[in-house]
Chain A
């Protein structure tokens, strides 16, 4: 029985206007202005994109890294519903909410980047689709997953609106929705790695391997747990709530297990393909590789011992490091380790950075509004409220 005896979720309450929400508002307004220019005058008007680097941070960060950050919902749901660890149930809703935002925005972010966005329906049009294309698979899975997550989250909305009838109907089918909600992210998170395979020798051998789907999937799973660590610690501090260490400590152990498998695959792959030499030459790419590895190995030292895993500061730091490590791997594969030959170079413009910041601002603002007004976070016990 997965969901017995846990604190029922309840709105946090409180005001919505503060320095954080106002800053988010400003960032979102800036993003809207930049996007208007982009849609009126083309991608070149606001981005540094060129034919050597046709994909910039809107793809590498907003979509590829952003959707990995949004794997909390999937990682926790797998723990609770597939491995039947009911004790983590209070983490499900907040993680799901963050994922919902992350993915919905990744989907929106793709639209900003598409040069001919009005043709996007072809992605789902049976006479246009190309099943050989990895991007087709990614697009279909992400779209389906966004729908699935909204259904997963719908009981929260129905609860708030008092529509018990609808809530009961949805909850009858929830087991299937949850199953879909674990399979779809497995499919597209691995495929986000496979996206690079067709780029062939243009991607540096440290990030170009047939093991990409496995590496991206495993890292998405531990990044999901890392994001939950990060988000739980941050929420508890910001809302002055009790830290959820009793759930985070054992969850971190599972995270380390996935991480350990990942590290073996990552290093084993580099060794077996004989590309270790490329990691010890003096190059930016080699440096990035070791930076990435450091982010993966440090958490093992930081919270490897059970007693250290009870330390919220260490948990938080380990979470941040893993988010960073997974991000670096993605950034290196898609941008830093991508080399087309010729004199092309890419560094994001301020406008591109502001749009990315605006996207994260939408996430933060949405998370604040919804947790304050909708039953997402577990209700605080009286003695826990300071």
Chain B
């Protein structure tokens, strides 16, 4: 049975070579992209959040979304999760007797759920029609319903479960936070940060927000400290004089001027971890918390974005269509020899091979 053994050997060798080739691909994967230098984002500090949900209401208004009800009386907007009509929500972690805030056992804590605006977003990589795009300057991940085909690949791809689809509509759209980019031209920033009474949600450049997050991690728990609210500007911008925009509104560095809203309060007990600094190659929305992030619904993600691997495979196989054309060329050459025009042979029909 030499032939069978040869066959088996061939199968094993071929299969092993193929496996080795493909499985070692990670080493060739392109680098996960990092945030653009001027990236905009949010800093959410769970220890400052009081769960008032002003941000949820402001988000609804800013994005013109309808109320969603989860109670019988249908009186208040009470969404239980983000959806095609709810782009931002505050969720609550509860454990045991719920004695103290930001305490994992017998405690409770809040968490904001909205788009993280990844440095290397899976939804943008997945979208076949460029309806989901990442702004090269601000890094905001935006959605264009006029291109969207409703395939929901972005919904499937996002590791944070953020893009959501409107299944109840024959013309359903994808709904997700776009950092209120439609308000930016008027100098307004994200509505959630604008209304947050405690500064738990701050808007600003991610680089500035990251520095603020690190400042907080260095604080002694319980010590009095100053905390900003609203729009966190970097030092140079703070030093600028506001200018009227001609319509009676004071502007500073392209954004509406607002008085300093910072206040003094005690620093929380933080976990030494800025969520979003490294996760998935970094996100533009950063989070601080006193309770384990996974317990608050934030997935435990490595430093590489799935898009890096996916796009590497895609471009290794199809980059500039080199491989497809090479294979097509070979196939055409072989087929040219083997395929005879039909009329030369069809006349001989009716004769079987005699098997």
Hey, which bits of chain A sit against chain B, CB under 8 A?
1-9, 39-45, 47, 49-52, 54-55, 80-82, 84, 87, 110, 113-117, 119-120, 122-123, 125, 128-137, 139, 155, 164, 167-168, 171-172, 174-176, 178-180, 182-183, 186-187, 190-191, 194-195, 197-202, 209-211, 213-214, 246, 257, 260-265, 268-269, 272-273, 338, 340-342, 378-379, 381
Contact A115 to B172, CB < 8 A, known contacts A122-B147, A122-B149, A210-B22: yes
Which residue on chain B has the smallest CB distance to residue A246?
B355
- Answer yes or no: B223 CB below 8 A from chain A CBs: no
Query: Which residue in chain B gives the minimum CB-CB distance to A273?
Result: B23
How close is B144's CB to chain A, nearest CB, in angstroms? Answer: 9
Are A40 and B130 CB-contacts (below 8 A) given A2-B339, A190-B317?
Answer: no
Contacts of B338 in A (CB 8 A): 1-2, 80-82, 84, 175
Residues of A within 8 A of B164 (CB): 51
Complex contact B167–A183 (CB within 8 A): no
Taking a contact as CB atoms under 8 Å apart, the answer to whether B127 and A176 are in contact is no
User: Which chain A residues border B8 with CB–CB below 8 Å?
Assistant: 260
Q: Which residues of A contact B159 (CB under 8 A)?
A: 200-202
Residue B171 at the chain A interface, CB threshold 8 Å = yes
Extra 8 A-B pairs, beta carbons < 8 Å, given A130-B127, A175-B336 = A5-B351, A9-B349, A39-B170, A51-B164, A113-B151, A133-B125, A183-B328, A187-B318
Interface locus among B11-19, B67-75, B255-263, B267-275 = B11-19
Name B's A-contacting residues (CB within 8 A). Answer: 7-8, 11-12, 14-16, 18-20, 22-23, 25-26, 81, 83-84, 122, 125-131, 145-153, 155-157, 159, 161, 164-173, 297, 299, 301, 305-307, 309-311, 313-315, 317-318, 324, 327-328, 331-332, 334-343, 345-346, 348-353, 355
Return chain A residues, CB-CB under 8 Å to B18: 211, 214, 261, 265
**Contacts A8-B346, A51-B164, A246-B355 hold; do A82 and B341 have CB atoms under 8 A apart?**
no
Q: Which residues of A contact B156 (CB under 8 A)?
A: 54-55, 199, 202, 338
Name the CB-closest residue of A to B155.
Answer: A54
Cβ–Cβ < 8 Å partners of A116 in chain B = 145, 148-150, 171-173
Answer whether A264 and B170 are a contact pair too, CB < 8 Å, given A4-B348, A81-B338, A379-B349. no
Contact of A194 among B307, B314, B346 (CB under 8 A): B314
Q: In whole angstroms, what is the CA distance A239 to B149 when docked?
A: 43
CA–CA, A55 to B317, complex, Å?
A: 26
Q: Pick the contact of B328: A39, A117, A180, A201 (CB < 8 A).
A: A180
Is the CB–CB distance between B342 and A201 below 8 Å?
no
Contact yes or no, A5 B146, CB < 8 A: no
* 14 contacts across the A-B interface (CB closer than 8 A): A2-B338, A9-B349, A43-B167, A51-B155, A114-B151, A122-B131, A131-B318, A135-B151, A197-B313, A210-B313, A264-B14, A264-B15, A341-B297, A381-B352
Q: Decide: A132 and B125 in contact? CB cutoff 8 A.
A: yes
Are A268 and B15 in contact (CB-based, < 8 A)? yes
